[in-house]
Amino acid sequence: MNPRAVVLLLVLIASSIPASSQAPSSSDATQLKQRLAVLQSRMTQVDQQVESLKKRRKGVMVELQGISLQRDRVRAQLDGAKLKQDQAQLEAQRITADQAKIRTEIDKLRKDLRRQIRLIQAQGELGDLAFLPDPRGFEAYLENTRHLTWWRLQERKRITQIQRLQEDLAQREKELKSVLARLASEQLEAARYQGGLTQNEAKLQAFLGALQQDEQAQKQVQAELSEEAIQLERMLANLLGKARTEAFEASVSFTRLRGELPAPVEGTLALGFGEHLHPRFHTKTFQSGLLIEAFIGSHVMAVADGKVLLAEPYQSYGPIVIVDHGSGWFTLYTHLQGTSVSKGQTLRQGDMVGTVGETLDGPRLGFEIRYQTKPEDPNKWLKKKYR
């Protein structure tokens, strides 16, 4: 290949490659995978709630929860589509960064090859190169010949490298086109889910609006909520009976922690312990714990050492975790977005039990403390009171 043609080819290749960009770190990709795994777990738990809902007796709360769960599912699908968009964008950045590295390598080869050609031209013709034997002696002629042979070998190696890099660039270009096509598909999918979410939210608001105007339906809600509370107490009594056979032995008695427990989540008090008039349904309800307003997805921590007795969806309480602290004391964490523990698992104070979920009134955590089935005001047990 003519040296001038090689140099020209290198210049053309270098000018056709996009400007370099910073490659995404491996930690970014790892974090994205972790977020996708968390989202998949969340989707699974929503599906479990939907299946559980089918087994419950029909009523206003069941219908309302069904609409709410459908909204949550579409919202999770939208979040998933957005995360997949982020994943495709990271891949595109990685490929673009690879292209930039190849460009740099080609540019270096071009400079080396140009310098090599100048050195060869300075020696004159030899065969197809300008070289004349040194009249001072045959040994100098052989030395020049060896140098030129080595330079020409290096030239062939660089040309081979250029061809390989061109193939790599073509492969990266194909990969980039595939990733960009996938990104466009994910964007369309996200737009479709966004439309579905808007429809589901409108349906939910219409149902709630009709419920506020229907006094008979509000009374039915009151009856259903009361029945759920009774069923929860029965379940606790049943769990207490089972816990006696496999009692959790705490290193520190739970009663000694009164007034010293850490908050299960950062937030503010949305609804305190005791009887209240429901702001949406206008029905009297007894709040057997605290409703804590917090950011959606916030980590919820165990307030003391204990053993998980239940970690699954339960009626309108959503995903719920019940922890046995020994001697008949329990803590309950309700309205979770998802749980991160399993039945029988031993917890230490500060271990994560789940994340804050969505309720009809916004992101809330339900937190209860019970001695056997009797509820107590959690604020009296916490070192830092919710206000």
Mean pLDDT over 213-239 rounds to: 87
Mean pLDDT on 166-183? 90
Confidence at residue 66, expressed as pLDDT on a 0 to 100 scale: 92
Residues 6+ apart with CB under 8 A from 116: 151, 154, 155, 158
Highest mean pLDDT among 51-60, 102-111, 193-202, 210-219: 193-202
Q: How far apart are CA 376 and CA 132, in angstroms?
A: 104
Provide the pLDDT for residue 369. 97
Asked if 14 contacts 106 with a C-beta cutoff of 8 angstroms, the reply is yes
pLDDT at 271 over 70: yes
Chain segment 53-101, per-residue pLDDT in tens: 888 888 888 999 999 999 989 999 999 999 999 999 999 999 999 899 9
Highest mean pLDDT among 12-16, 231-235, 365-369: 365-369
The pLDDT of residue 135 is 52
Least confident window among 20-34, 168-182, 202-216, 344-358:
20-34
- Give the tens place of pLDDT for each residue, 291-305: 999 999 999 999 999
Confidence at 363, pLDDT banded by 50, 70, 90: very high
Helix axes 60-123, 138-213, angle to 10 degrees: 170
How far, in whole angstroms, is CA 266 from its chain's centroid?
21
Contact yes or no for 44/337 (Cβ under 8 A): no
Q: Would you say residue 355 has pLDDT above 90?
A: yes
Give the pLDDT confidence of 232-261 residue by residue, as tens digits: 989 888 888 776 666 788 888 999 999 999
Structure tokens at 297: 């997805």
| Cα torsion through 249, 253, 258, 264, rounded to 10 | -30
CB-count exposure of residue 324 (10 Å: 0-12, 13-18, 19+): buried
Given this model, what pLDDT does residue 143 score?
A: 58
Q: Give 205-254 as a DSSP string.
A: HHHHHHHHH-HHHHHHHHHHHHHHHHHHHHHHHHHHHHHHHT----SS-G
Q: Quick one: tokens of 340?
A: 């991160």
- Could you tell me which residues are beta bridge partners of residue 300? 354
Query: 32: pLDDT confidence band, cut at 50, 70 and 90?
Result: confident
* Beta pairing, strands 352-359 & 299-301: antiparallel
| Residue 142, pLDDT above cutoff 70 | no
Range 218-380 has CATH code 2.70.70.10: yes
Token pair, residue 8, equals 């020209």
Identify the pLDDT of residue 213.
Answer: 84
For the chain, the average pLDDT equals 83
What is the pTM for the complete model shown? 0.74
Q: Is the pLDDT of residue 162 over 90?
A: no
368 contacts: CB under 8 Å, gap ≥ 6:
288, 289, 290, 330, 331, 332, 334, 375, 378
The 10 Å Cβ neighbour count of residue 149 is 11
> Which one-letter amino acid corresponds to residue 21?
S
User: 311 forms bridges with which residues in the sheet?
Assistant: 321
Nearest to 365 by CA among 232, 268, 231: 268
**pLDDT of the residue at 2:** 43
Task: Tokens for 261, please give them.
Answer: 């427990």
CB 375 within 8 A of CB 369: yes
